[in-house]
Structure 1
């Protein structure tokens, strides 16, 4: 998300950064470029106008022109105002109510409600340590109930059965009764969507809301619909007392207009953003971190959290102990590291959070974000024998040709992998000399550092 906006703004910000002196003309020129960039990113016009006005007011005042580093001061103003328009800070779910806390999911058909229920169930279970139950009140879409059942099994949460002969209100009341008996902390309710907003749909969801009185009513919306996402959320907000918004498919939205418009137009906070189809592709929305990413300052906090949460600590500990004892880092160990990176969404997911990537050539970013590099490297290592993985020195020219053929690639690719292996082995040797604590820190840090590996 925000690739096009970041590219456009990073150049403007870079020009400002080194300025020892700014004039009102410089500021006018910068805000004009920011305005064009926002409009091209499909940010709603009222949002753009309000944002630019606030930046101008602060920029031509004492805060920027009288600053010792006016370029940096103006960048800070732009960042602050971007953060403010998206909601200033992350907004938690309100679960401080008698159990079960009922969360109602609303939205149009195709927005990703059912998938989001599965993702949110996983997040609440793993990060908030809640006992979660899910139920589907979508009695119209074929296989909607079955889809939710499959997701519940996948993330290992309770599923309350329903069928399309029942009324939505009847289904949810029965689920709440069962949740109370089973000491469930959170009940997530998936509701029916329509292809467009219609009176029948609104009447049904209003009746459902009145009957179950949820503590949270989240509107799930496809970010790729741009300004329409904000307008649809506004229409739902007028019909229902929404408590927040979930933006889905943000990995496919290069512009990011929805994220910058939804809060301002609806007055409701964006609580989560969804990426991809995987059940762990749901993140808490942090406006201040997102503003940093838009201005190409990176999002190191989210990167650290991602690595902390998804690195296999046991494997890292075993590898740390192995190398600390002076044993050689081999290709089995390298494959483990690559597989863990793949589990974190690949190099593209990590690079997205690193600062200064706005000026990286687009073809390089495309190559990385397509995620083909790491699976190719894993395939090459898998094509080796156990003996070769343990003893990389055995890999002469004929063996490398055989490995390349087995992995469906070229000897040049095998040579490139071996060069990267040698770099990693050297790094491991240095970390081992720092003792066990240094090893553990280095291993977790290395997962982020692998974003610097060379690409074709």
Structure 2
């Protein structure tokens, strides 16, 4: 996401490379390129101009100290303005009322139903809530089935009335059911249309009036760019929603919606969603997003995702095995599985400062570990627990069993041995093995 915008902004900053100071001339040319980059990213021209005018005023008002180049100063100013444009700080959903009622709204195809499932999973696993999903889309034939499938995958109950064509009644009955069952969060998925129309607006407004939700989240397909911003304004004028959700940020999006929707409707972006997996939902942090747009990475989110998969007891066992130089293929496979749970491999690499640009044009499949796992799975339990047993004939058998050639197996064994040697050398450094506890995380 934002790859084109990131490249264009990087090109704009390069104009200041080698400059000794900020001047009217070099700032003007840089700001002009930044404005073009924003407009090409589907940012409204008026907003892009206001943004770059603020950048220009700040840049010309700054004195460049010897430790900071004009280019570095401009990057900081642009980052601060991007953060401000997207809302300054994160805003989470209000979960104080019991039960909390969350109404989901948006156009058809924006990802409302999938987001509803992701939100239920997020609240259940990260907020220790007991959510109830409500199938309030009475028009799309597969909507109820889709929500029930999602609910079964995450172990969350779904309330539906397939024969009832009154969405307001369904929502009211669901609240009664939730109170009886002890559900403390109610997530109501509503119907969408291909475009804003009066029937849809009236129905969702009637649901709002009937259930008085604490949160109304408007779901936006990021790939629709500036059209999404215009749709958000129409919904907000009618519903006065409390927050925005950006979906499909892993798609071919130019970023205009993410950058300007907060400015247009003056409502915070609360969540961003990528992919179809139900654990790919993140709270929206304006500063982290600005850093990623400017190629600075997002190490904080990377660490948080790692911590979500971190098991204290498992880490202690791993640390002990590393100290005793007993790290084996079972341990290695366990670490791979934890990494896979953290999300898309390319997305994870993009969060590491300096790595994002290097991998942006590389096709990194999420199945990248499959070959390694196949080789480990082709080993006997004894071989996995004692890698030193694996001789030439065993390698031939492993290659045949995993569908790989002997060269692949030899290369993997060599890399694994190098890693073990590195771990062994770390044991000689005071506190060294504790560093691998963090690596496991």
| Aligned with 1:348 (options 330, 346, 353) | 346
1:216-242 deviation per Cα after TM superposition (whole angstroms, max 9, x unaligned): 100011111111111111111112111
Q: 1:170 to 1:287 in 2, by over 3 A?
A: same
Partner of 1:412: 407
Contact 2:39 2:45 in 1 (8 A): yes
Measure, in 2, the Cα distance between the counterparts of 1:415 and 1:239.
64
Mapped to 2, the partners of 1:404 and 1:37 lie a distance apart of: 50
Deviations 1:154-209 (A, max 9, x none): 22233223224241111111111222233322111000111221111111111111
Shift of 1:421: 1.2
**Runs of 5+ unmatched residues, structure 2:** none
Deviates further, 48-57 or 68-77 = 68-77
Distance 1:51 1:164, change over 3 A: farther
Residue 21 of structure 2 aligns to a residue in which SS? coil
In structure 2, what is the Cα distance between the partners aligned to 1:23 and 1:422?
55
User: Conserved in 2, the CA contact under 8 Å of 1:20 and 1:68?
Assistant: no
Cα offsets for 1:323-369 (capped at 9, x unmatched): 23x14211221111111111112432321211123542644xx233x
Q: 1:4 to 1:408 in 2, by over 3 A?
A: farther
Q: Secondary structure at the match of 1:242?
A: coil
Aligned to 1:445: 439
Which residue of 2 is the match for residue 222 of structure 1?
A: 221
Structure 2 residue aligned with 1:189:
188
Q: Distance in 2 between matches of 1:244 and 1:362?
A: 30
- Aligned residue runs from structure 1 range 252-267, under 5 A: 252-267=251-266
1:442 positional shift: 2.4
2:376 aligned to which of 363, 378, 381: 381
Please say if 1:336 is aligned against 2:330.
no
What's the CA shift for 1:438? 5.4
Name the CA shift for 1:229/1:434 in 2 (closer, same or farther; >3 Å): farther
Separation in structure 2 between the aligned mates of residue 10 and residue 397 of structure 1, nearest angstrom:
50
Deviation at 1:254, TM superposition (A): 4.5
How far off its partner does 1:65 sit?
Answer: 5.0
Q: 1:253 to 1:443 in 2, by over 3 A?
A: farther
Counterparts of residues 42-441 of structure 1 (less than 5 Å): 42-61=42-61, 63-65=62-64, 69=68, 70-97=70-97, 99-324=98-323, 326-360=324-358, 362-363=360-361, 366-368=362-364, 370-433=365-428, 439-441=433-435
- Following superposition, the deviation at residue 146 of structure 1 comes to 2.3
Question: Alpha carbons of 1:256 and 1:312: their partners in 2 closer, same or farther (altered >3 Å)?
Answer: farther
Count matched residues: 440
Listed as ranges, the gaps of 5+ residues in structure 1 are 448-456
Q: Deviations 1:254-276 (Å, cap 9, x if unpaired)?
A: 42222112112222111000111
Higher mean Cα deviation, 285-294 or 424-433? 424-433
Q: Please report the TM-score for the alignment, with normalisation by the length of structure 1.
A: 0.89
| Counterpart contact for 1:388–1:395, Cα < 8 Å | yes
Distance of aligned partners of 1:284 and 1:441 in 2 relative to their CA distance in 1, 3 Å threshold: farther
